[in-house]
Amino acid sequence: MFMRPTAALAALLFIGAAPLALAAEKPTDPQIAHIAYTAGTIDIEAAKLAIKKSKNKEIIDFAKDMERDHAAVNKQALDLVKKLKVTPEDNDTSKALAKAAKEERAKLAKLQGAAFDKAYIENEVAYHKQVDSALETLLIPSATNAELKSLLETGLKIFQGHEQHAEHVAGMLK
Amino acid sequence: MRPLALAPALAAALIASPALAATIEVTIDKLVFSPASVQAKVGDTIEWTNIDILAHTATVKGGWDVMIPAKSKGKVTLTAAGAVDYFCRFHPNMKGHIEVAP
């Protein structure tokens, strides 16, 4: 049962990623900005839920790290789009991400104690893997503005760290 | 006689510690301590310059813990000899090492 949220998210993200795999449908900079910002917001929401629900210090500390880092990256992203006078543009990938995240949060909200901790951290591992892969293979190569590309590259470094951190915490729960 | 005997020791101490203490710079860029490993002496200061948009720490398990805010600096003065491994509490895969000579 613990695999279900992860699998569901992976499936939904796959739906989101599929149309973008077509070279002809590379996302534009305003879309990339929206996707990146949405992905960050999703992880902040998940972190808030974990901070509220979990009693496990490792989980709470990890969630606070996610909240702090993603808020910092998103602030940077907002400052950049303002500077570049770009209006982030909603798109199918952002919508798929938001929809999957809403469902994931609903599932997590029903779990308690150790079951919640395990599901949350496993989802964090899977989620960061998906986001990192999207950044690496699609968003960074598609970005045309150099500053946006650089911010995405910084984001990738940060989120790869999160992925390793999540894996470490997941390993400790076992 | 006693004050006289102490004078050379005091003078030596004044020359030996603060005058020769160095500040060793470590930069934090994209979640990497650079250089990752530094050599220092007791009395030296390590100063981290964080150019990331994220807050970091330089933390030794059971030892010192330095907060290094985003786009800011943090420092610690080394008081004990020996090798120390430090890491960032917020990003535990960030690691650094200091060799502290007496």
**Which residues on A lie below 8 Å from B90 (Cβ)?**
65, 68-69
pLDDT in tens, B11-29: 544 445 555 789 999 999 9
**Which residues on A lie below 8 Å from B70 (Cβ)?**
72
Its sign, for the CA torsion A97, A168, A106, A158, is negative
Q: Which residue of B has its CA nearest to A169?
A: B92
CATH number of residue B35's parent domain: 2.60.40.420
Q: Where are the beta strands (DSSP E) in B1-102?
A: 23-29, 32-34, 37-41, 45-50, 56-59, 65-68, 72-77, 82-87, 95-101
The residue among A112, A116, A99 whose CA lies nearest residue A11 is A99
Average pLDDT over residues B41-55: 96
Tell me: pLDDT of B73 over 60: yes
Provide the CATH topology of domain A3-13+28-173: Ferritin (1.20.1260)
3-state secondary structure chain A: CCHHHHHHHHHHHHHHHCHHHCHHHCCCHHHHHHHHHHHHHHHHHHHHHHHHHCCCHHHHHHHHHHHHHHHHHHHHHHHHHHHHCCCCCCCHHHHHHHHHHHHHHHHHHHCCHHHHHHHHHHHHHHHHHHHHHHHHHHHHHHCCCHHHHHHHHHHHHHHHHHHHHHHHHHHHHC
> Is residue B55 a part of any domain in this protein?
yes
> Is residue B3 a part of any domain in this protein?
no
Q: Quote the number of domains for chain B.
A: 1
> Is residue B11 a part of any domain in this protein?
no
> Is residue B74 a part of any domain in this protein?
yes
The residue among A144, A19, A141, A7 whose CA lies nearest residue A92 is A19
pLDDT band at B5 (very low <50, low <70, confident <90, very high): low
Question: Across the interface, do A72 and B53 touch by the CB < 8 Å criterion?
Answer: yes
pLDDT in tens, A11-62: 445 444 444 444 447 899 999 999 999 999 999 999 999 999 999 999 999 9
Tell me: pLDDT of A144 over 50: yes
> Is residue B30 a part of any domain in this protein?
yes
> Is residue B16 a part of any domain in this protein?
no
